[in-house]
Amino acid sequence: MSQDRLQALRGELKRQGVEAFLVPRADEYQNEYVPAADERLSWITGFTGSAGMAVISQREAALFVDGRYTLQGEQQIGDQPIELENLDGQAIAAWVCDQLREGQSLGFDPRLHTEPGLALLKKRLAERDISLRPLEQNPIDAVWRDRPQPPCGAARPHPLVFTGEHSSEKRQRIAELLAEKRVDALWLPNPESCAWLFNIRGDDIPHLPVALANGVLYRDGSATLYLAEQAIGEGLLEHLDHEVTLVSEKGQLFEDLRRRHVNKIWVDASISNCWTLQQLRDLDLQLLLERDPVIGAKACKNSVELAGSKAAHERDGAALCEFLCELPSAVQNGLDELSAVQLLYSKREEREGFRGNSFETISGYGPNGAIVHYRVSEQSSLTIKPESIYLCDSGAQYPDGTTDVTRTVALGEFPALARDHFTRVLKGHIAIATLRFPRGTCGEQIDAIARRSLWEVGLDYAHGTGHGVGSFLSVHEGPQRIGKMATGVALQPGMILSNEPGFYLTGQYGIRIENLVFVKESTDYIGFLEFEELTLAPIDRKLIDVELLTEKERDWLNRYHQRVREVIMPLVNDKTGQWLYGATEAL
């Protein structure tokens, strides 16, 4: 099938007059998760990971993925005529330069890329006189005969009891920033920004409770929200005040800007697609190219959002504990990785407010656990045996909060070295959990603290230590993160992040310990910040080498387990309560 699709695509490239085509996993909104209609990368390569890029030329094809997806990429490509390469601008440019000659062109869909995302590739290709050419029609869409229809669900109000702030108050707060910057309007390219600013949610994207929408906020606090007509219901009209205009035709944006006499508009080029930026430039507008201020505002949760997140994590922790309690007996009865996903889902489904998973559950037994972002399928699902190690990374969406938690558990006898690896990961986890840091500290400045114990024995992991998390929004929210890559983003009170160091031994097992935490003022030192745990679930004591832990590390784990016991015990059945008592005993 892949060969037929490649052949059809190459025919379309020839018709459009380009020698190769760039295929991202993206939609026009630059969402992390994309609707089925935008899964072009999966359609042409079979790769289903959340980050990747393919280049299809007339003679060859290549899939570029980062370190998280190397093993997954190899498995999903299989015997298809597609090379697997490392994902970075240099590697893509080098591959294209090997394939194309001077004067030839690499086509791309300008609605699926950002200018910063293409900058390095464009520069390298220009040095070889190879052009990067925007195409009017995506050539994959031209040959994808059974392409699904784009989603168009209803946008619904998100109540004040969960948001803690009226949309009008948010709009006015951001509008004051526009006045400070002396711009007339702010372009809102991303459905998440619109969801937060207008207090709306939807179901158009898997795992992300948003409606596909764009918007413009004006300096006087008024706004226009661009939504498909089918998405506009009576409840939404009542929810939004008279200062918000609902428009069903997105193409009207540019006419609206003229009518409102906009001369200068704030645009975040990192989340705005190339096509929109070009249209704005064609209007002769001045562009202020800076980060969308909504992103930073929604990252800092207010007291209502934090209280909601705590409540959501209590219910979610109870569901996870019931799953972990039943796991050993289910394994004895022939549980496989896919059935484990379904079992955990059923436990969450029983909890108040559950709205679905916040991402596709990673359920990896033994060697599959070593695939960092493994996605179980009917073909890959292993039977979980009462031995070795099982890793489960999962999360849920609730109206009051978004969860993300990873637990690694021993199911019987396991390799002796795994205890050392697990304990070093735990030491890194505790190092972040107990850290105090001065205001102004960025995530990249504390990342090494999580890795130190692994680095001491020559080990590391190929993913970030922490990512931001939304409030009934994206489980991977910016701008905050903890990782090696520089962000320049200081951690601020109210930000929610994951704390998830790990280690992966290819072909044997994967280890990750992940809790969500939020940033708060230090209780001991003025001008310092610290973290507080949100996630409530036991950490497997069987995998811990107690001799490797310091007294302070043991004390932290004992206090954490005591809190888990006190909070979760009243929320679970008697069987789980008995299991929980043992799982949280002091070291």
Helix (H) or strand (E) holding 465: none
CA gyration radius, the chain: 25
Q: CATH number of the domain at 2-143, out of 3.40.47.10, 3.40.350.10, 3.30.1300.10, 3.90.79.10?
A: 3.40.350.10
- Percent residues over pLDDT 90 in the chain: 88
Q: What is the pLDDT of residue 503?
A: 98
Q: How confident is the model at residue 241 (pLDDT cuts 50, 70, 90)?
A: confident
Q: Is 134 helix (H, G, I), strand (E, B) or coil?
A: strand
Q: How far is CA 243 from CA 80, 142, 206, 257, 264, in A?
A: 54, 40, 31, 16, 21
Alpha-carbon torsion angle 124, 130, 134, 139, nearest 10? -110
Q: Picking from 46-60, 302-316, 339-353, which range would have the lowest pLDDT averaged per residue?
A: 46-60
- Which pLDDT tens digit goes with each residue over 420-474? 999 999 999 999 999 999 999 999 999 999 999 999 999 999 999 999 999 999 9
Q: Tell me how far apart the alpha carbons of residues 171 and 518 are, in angstroms, rounded to a whole number.
A: 25
Cα 176 to chain centroid distance, Å, stands at 29
The residue extents of the domains of the chain are: 2-143, 156-297, 303-583
The answer to whether the bond into 479 is cis (omega within 30° of 0) is yes
**Tell me, which fold does domain 303-583 have in CATH?**
Creatine Amidinohydrolase (3.90.230)
Q: Counting every residue, how long is the chain?
A: 587
Shared fold status for 156-297 and 303-583: no
- Which pLDDT tens digit goes with each residue over 264-276? 999 999 999 999 9
Q: Picking from 1-15, 309-323, 395-409, 520-534, which range would have the lowest pLDDT averaged per residue?
A: 1-15
Q: Tell me how far apart the alpha carbons of residues 472 and 401 are, in angstroms, rounded to a whole number.
A: 5
Structure token pair of residue 340: 């484990």
* Average pLDDT of the residues in 278-292: 95
Q: Tell me how far apart the alpha carbons of residues 148 and 34 are, in angstroms, rounded to a whole number.
A: 12
Above 90 in pLDDT, residue 536? yes
Q: What is the pLDDT of residue 70?
A: 78
**Can you give the pTM of this predicted structure?**
0.93
Q: What is the pLDDT of residue 89?
A: 67
* Average pLDDT of the residues in 97-126: 95
Above 80 in pLDDT, residue 71? no
- Which pLDDT tens digit goes with each residue over 162-210? 999 999 999 999 999 999 999 999 999 999 999 999 999 999 999 999 9
Mean pLDDT for the chain overall:
95
Q: What is the pLDDT of residue 76?
A: 84
* Average pLDDT of the residues in 283-307: 97
Q: What is the pLDDT of residue 80?
A: 85
CATH superfamily of 156-297: Creatinase/prolidase N-terminal domain (3.40.350.10)
Query: Of the candidates 186, 187, 189, 191, which has an alpha carbon nearest to the alpha carbon of residue 203?
Result: 191
- Which pLDDT tens digit goes with each residue over 25-70? 999 999 988 999 999 999 999 998 888 999 999 999 999 998 777 7
